[in-house]
């Protein structure tokens, strides 16, 4: 969480400390970002818990908060032999400097009625998991064991598991170390300006799909401006996805009844040039709903 608007780091700290006295289920510690400044890293029981805490902080303490995407700690080995523990996308080294990347892994134990076994296994397989075992406790109940990345677990895994099992499956996990992975830093840009709060680390095989999904949801949520808004996703120096929020269009020739077609063309060209200038100097305010929507998945 980072303070925005008139909210200071001190006010946010005091609000978090006060709320933590009533809700000890979340953890917190100070955090500093190169571009967002001083803030706090919070640990929650899930995305719904995060939304409730943010809503309570803003309502009860009258503060404004920017919530960034949840992250885990990755281990990066560089070509010069360094080992780095990375907790934020802005700390991610250049691709050309990376030798190997490791991500935290968990061993998950799921107990589910046999009726929902297929749906639970399908969900696990969609989360880059590795099968360990399947055992029946009795003819109606099954224990599943899988290994999967911690990053997949924090991305609404528990709520998705409850959904596919109609609430009957239970879930427990323990940390099992790190595993090698092919990961990329995905940057989200609005009119060529990176939005750090939406940047994230993604598995290479899911990066393009993830980027397209994020941009499509952003396109639906961002209000139209007087100029065109370009939404892009980038890995390194390569654009991997793009969407465009079209500009609001004013009918500048509405009062030109009949008359010379060249005059109408000049008015349209003038409008077009004006919008180009606005795009160069205009800024886009992203509503908080954009961040909530991205954090949900």
Q: Mind listing the pLDDT tens digit for each residue in 14-50? A: 999 999 998 888 888 888 776 667 888 888 877 778 8
The answer for residues whose C-beta is within 8 angstroms of residue 236's C-beta and 6 or more apart is 94, 95, 184
Please report, for the domain that includes residue 208, its CATH number: 3.30.70.2570
In this model, does residue 253 exceed pLDDT 60?
Answer: no
Closest CA to 141 of 111, 161, 163: 111
Please report, for the domain that includes residue 174, its CATH number: 3.30.70.240
Query: Rounded to whole angstroms, what are the CA distances from 128 to 33, 121, 162, 179, 292?
Result: 29, 12, 19, 12, 24
In this model, does residue 110 exceed pLDDT 90?
Answer: yes
Q: Token pair for residue 232?
A: 């892009």
Per the domain annotation, does 79 fall within a domain?
no
Rounded distance, CA 195 to CA 68, Å? Answer: 10
Pair (57, 110) in one structural domain: no
Mean confidence (pLDDT) of the chain: 82
Pair (294, 219) in one structural domain: yes
Rounded distance, CA 280 to CA 71, Å? Answer: 33
pLDDT band per the 50, 70, 90 thresholds, residue 283: low
The pTM of the whole model exceeds 0.75: no
Looking at the chain, the whole-number percentage of residues with pLDDT higher than 70 is 81
Domain final residue pick, 159, 180, 201: 180
Per the domain annotation, does 83 fall within a domain?
no
Compute how many other C-beta atoms are within 10 angstroms of the C-beta atom of residue 136.
11
Rg (CA), the chain: 24
Rounded distance, CA 263 to CA 256, Å? Answer: 9
Higher pLDDT, 108 or 267: 108
What backbone phi and psi angles, to 5 degrees, belong to 160? -65, -40
Per the domain annotation, does 84 fall within a domain?
no
Compute how many other C-beta atoms are within 10 angstroms of the C-beta atom of residue 193.
11
Pair (153, 203) in one structural domain: no
Domain final residue pick, 114, 145, 180: 180
Per the domain annotation, does 258 fall within a domain?
yes
Rounded distance, CA 258 to CA 29, Å? Answer: 68
Higher pLDDT, 83 or 272: 83
Per the domain annotation, does 73 fall within a domain?
no
Per the domain annotation, does 277 fall within a domain?
yes
Domain that holds residue 211: 184-297
In this model, does residue 139 exceed pLDDT 50?
Answer: yes
Rounded distance, CA 73 to CA 86, Å? Answer: 5
CA 172 to chain centre: 24
**Number of folded domains in the chain?**
3
Closest CA to 236 of 101, 95, 87, 97: 95
Per the domain annotation, does 78 fall within a domain?
no
pLDDT score of 282: 44
Pair (155, 241) in one structural domain: no
Report the half-sphere exposure of 277 (CA within 13 A, side-chain side).
6
Three-state secondary-structure class, residue 282:
coil
pLDDT score of 276: 46
pLDDT score of 237: 83
Please report, for the domain that includes residue 46, its CATH number: 3.30.70.870
Domain final residue pick, 180, 195, 212: 180
């Amino acid at each position: 969480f980072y303070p925005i608007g008139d909210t200071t780091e001190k006010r946010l700290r005091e609000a978090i400390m006060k709320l933590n006295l009533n809700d000890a289920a979340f953890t917190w510690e100070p955090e500093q970002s190169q571009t967002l400044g001083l803030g706090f890293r919070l640990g929650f029981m899930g995305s719904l818990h995060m939304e409730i805490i943010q809503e309570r902080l803003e309502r009860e303490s009258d503060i404004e908060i920017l919530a960034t995407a949840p992250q885990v700690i990755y281990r990066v080995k560089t070509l010069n032999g360094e080992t780095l523990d990375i907790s934020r996308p802005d700390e991610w080294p250049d691709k050309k400097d990376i030798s190997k990347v490791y991500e935290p892994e968990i061993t998950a134990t799921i107990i589910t009625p046999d009726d929902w076994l297929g749906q639970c296994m399908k969900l696990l397989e969609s989360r880059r998991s590795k099968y360990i075992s399947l055992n029946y406790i009795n003819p109606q109940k099954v224990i599943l064991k899988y290994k999967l990345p911690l990053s997949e677990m924090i991305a609404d895994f528990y709520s998705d598991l409850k959904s596919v099992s109609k609430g009957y499956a239970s879930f427990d996990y323990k940390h099992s170390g790190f595993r090698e992975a092919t990961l990329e830093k995905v940057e989200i840009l609005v009119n060529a300006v990176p939005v750090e709060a939406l940047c994230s680390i993604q598995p290479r095989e899911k990066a393009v799909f993830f980027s397209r999904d994020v941009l499509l949801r952003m396109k639906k949520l961002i209000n139209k401006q007087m100029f065109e808004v370009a939404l892009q996703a980038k890995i390194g120096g390569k654009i991997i996805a793009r969407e465009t929020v079209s500009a609001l269009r004013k009918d500048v020739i509405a009062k030109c009844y009949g008359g010379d077609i060249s005059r109408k063309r000049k008015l349209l060209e003038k409008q077009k040039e004006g919008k180009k200038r606005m795009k160069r100097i205009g800024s886009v305010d992203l509503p908080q709903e954009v961040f909530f929507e991205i954090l949900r998945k």
